[in-house]
Amino acid sequence: MTDNKKNTLQHIAIIMDGNGRWATKRGLPRLAGHKKGAEAVKIVTEAAAEAGVKYLTLYAFSTENWQRSPEEVNGLMSLLRDYLKTDFKEIQEKGVRIRFIGERHMLASDIVEEMEKIEKQTINNDRMTLCIALSYGSRQEIVQAARKIATLAKRGDILPEDVDIKMFSDMLYTKDMPDPDLVIRSSGEQRISNYLLWQVAYAEFYFSPVLWPDFNKETLNAIIEDYNHRERRYGKA
């Protein structure tokens, strides 16, 4: 069992990986893995809230994922429409605030409309914040932040010496959120995949062999327990 007294975690970020492999191992279509993965989202979100985590950011769909086959992308978008009206409603009813980060202009207008509705409906929920990275790419986010700062400088609103870490962070999608303390990637892969590159500068990492659809409360609690035994120095001796 996780010792919440020792748990100093504010923010966990997860790269949800392995849906397709989970389905392939069972002779099922890839979308079956994505459906099962959506169940894991609900389970892990509740487990994180119970563990006292205040922010949970999940990498749901990257800007690079748009390069997948049209059949898979269309299937994922169809599933997303369903999830926004069902699964996310169930999550918000448990007092969780829901936010979305990413390139919204790449998504269909009806999906964006539903996302914005959910954000407004849950803005006062304070049990935990669930942040969904959807059509998200960290390099793109950083470039956009640089453009915003360049625009301010061109207008004369700021000077070059005004630019600091806080200003840059405030230009990112994750402004007003603490940086992740812990980044988890499922399925055994050991890479960041263009995820929160600026924000994870001092995060701890955990690479789990468990495929995302098999993630559950016990899996998450074991990882939190591992984190609690680590010593975080932030560059200090």
Q: Which residues are catalytic?
A: 17, 65
Rounded to 5°, the CA angle 184-187-191 comes to: 60
Backbone angles phi, psi at 12, to 5 degrees: -110, 135
User: What CA–CA distance (Å, rounded) separates 85 from 103?
Assistant: 21
Strands of the sheet containing 128-136, edge to edge, are 96-101, 128-136, 55-62, 11-15, 182-185, 204-207
Using DSSP bridges, classify how beta strands 128-136 and 96-101 pair: parallel, antiparallel or unpaired. Answer: parallel
Q: How far is CA 129 from CA 3, 92, 124, 166, 234, in A?
A: 21, 10, 10, 21, 25
